[in-house]
Amino acid sequence: MAPEITSSGRTNWYLLGPAFVAAIAYVDPGNVAANVSSGTQFGYLLLWVIVAANVMAGLVQYLSAKLGLVTGRSLPEAIGDRMARPARLGYWAQAEIVAMSTDVAEVIGGAVALRILFGLPLPVGGLITGAISLLLLLIKDRRGQRLFETVITGLLLVIAVGFTASFFVATPPAGEVLGGLVPRFHGAESVLLAAAILGATVMPHAVYLHSGLARDRHGHPEPGPSRHRLLRITRWDVGIAMVIAGGVNAAMLLVAAFNMRGHGDVGSIEAAYEAVRGTLGPTIAILFAVGLLASGLASSSVGAYAGAMIMQGLLDWSVPMVVRRLLTLCPAIALLALNVDPTRTLVLSQVVLSFGIPFAVLPLIRLTANRELMGGDANHHATTVVGWVVAVMISLLNVVLIYLTVTG
């Protein structure tokens, strides 16, 4: 059962939190790479993609949380309940690939931040990022979800300050910003970056995770006023978290477009740091690097948490968190040791994520529209229609991406 909910603001604020953990996925290092690359290459062109993706993400995250609260099942569990064992294995495999792609982006981002701040080799930085993310997960396991949410929310605020500080120092012209809200592309590379932004914003592992976060935090309230109030608070939770995440992402792209375009090769995160240092000063540059580090640490722990929930829900397997952390860390460390381009790897990892979105979003729309499962809290018909439109738009963008990448 959910805790008693009073009308006091204090109690309502106390109930916020699960969406802030999920929102970490929307300000991870993959977002930094995609947004910086978009701003430096195409200026304000793809700002509309960030806005659209953030609106889509808000709807999807609320539906995920609602599923967990109303049914008492996480999205992976609800999907697994309706599949035979072989189908569950296949479904888990694609979800696990997506989760590991997420981990690659997050660990690499943390490693790049540690190299910027302390000059550490990338593989060493990746190991440190993985170790600290494991410590954050141990806080959740040993001290409970509430403290974990508090720590992650604190890191989210650090990320927000780090990535938006430069926006207030040098504000882009309003006319060009408004022009970036007009939907359009400019060649195959802009579509690739749009898919990367989308994959970095509507993240499959966050969709799977939010249902379990909401259920574990609030329980499975019975139908009635208590559930309705909790769902209303959840809408506020999601709305506030997504406004913060969307604002951070937009600020990243705007800063890159305003300060870094035309300043040579600033397509990499480290070059972006140097560009910020050169144009806005060392203090803003250090804040940028600290925001990137907080992003890598927080998102890596949240990604590992999501991977464990996906495995538990689809396969009913429980792997010790230390073992899972070590296994999922291997691809990122291997890539860092091979000296691949970190920023390009981050962007491509977000494209991989975008291909996993329909596998999370389509079942979510179908399940939350099912009146037999959801009862009176099933989606309104208009919500279901919008949800299907979002899922189809994402799928079509991926088809266009493949075509333009192959033929371009």
Say how many C-beta atoms besides its own lie within 10 A of residue 339's C-beta: 9
Closest of 200, 172, 150, 206 to residue 394, by C-alpha: 200
pLDDT of residue 103: 82
pLDDT of residue 9: 46
Give me the half-sphere count of Cα atoms (radius 13 Å) on the Cβ side of residue 55.
Answer: 10
Closest of 187, 202, 201, 199 to residue 400, by C-alpha: 187
pLDDT of residue 12: 67
Question: Hey, what are 202's tokens?
Answer: 């509507």
Closest of 318, 234, 313 to residue 22, by C-alpha: 234
Question: Hey, what are 10's tokens?
Answer: 């204090």
pLDDT of residue 48: 94
Say how many C-beta atoms besides its own lie within 10 A of residue 87's C-beta: 13
pLDDT of residue 25: 82
346/361 Cα distance (integer angstroms): 23
pLDDT of residue 125: 94
- Would you say how long the chain is, in residues? 408
Q: Which domains does the chain have, with CATH numbers?
A: 17-407 (1.20.1740.10)
- Residues with Cβ within 8 Å of residue 104, at least 6 apart in sequence: 331, 332, 335, 345, 346, 349
Residue-level pLDDT, tens digit, the chain, 408 residues: 444 444 444 446 667 778 899 888 888 887 887 788 888 889 899 999 999 989 988 999 999 999 999 999 999 999 999 998 888 999 999 888 888 888 888 898 899 999 999 999 999 999 999 999 889 888 888 887 888 888 998 998 999 999 888 877 778 888 889 999 999 988 878 887 887 787 667 788 889 999 999 998 888 888 888 899 899 999 999 999 999 999 999 988 998 888 777 655 555 778 778 888 888 889 989 999 999 999 989 988 888 888 889 989 998 888 877 787 788 888 888 888 888 888 777 767 767 777 788 899 899 999 999 999 999 999 999 999 998 888 787 777 767 666 665 565
277/286 Cα distance (integer angstroms): 8
> Which burial class, exposed, middle or buried, applies to 376 when counting CB atoms under 10 A from its CB (0-12, 13-18, 19+)?
exposed
Model confidence, pTM: 0.87
Q: Estimate the crossing angle of helix 204-218 against helix 47-71, to 10 degrees.
A: 40
- Residues with Cβ within 8 Å of residue 382, at least 6 apart in sequence: none
Residue type, 305: Y
pLDDT of residue 188: 77
Intra-chain end-to-end CA distance of the chain, in Å: 55
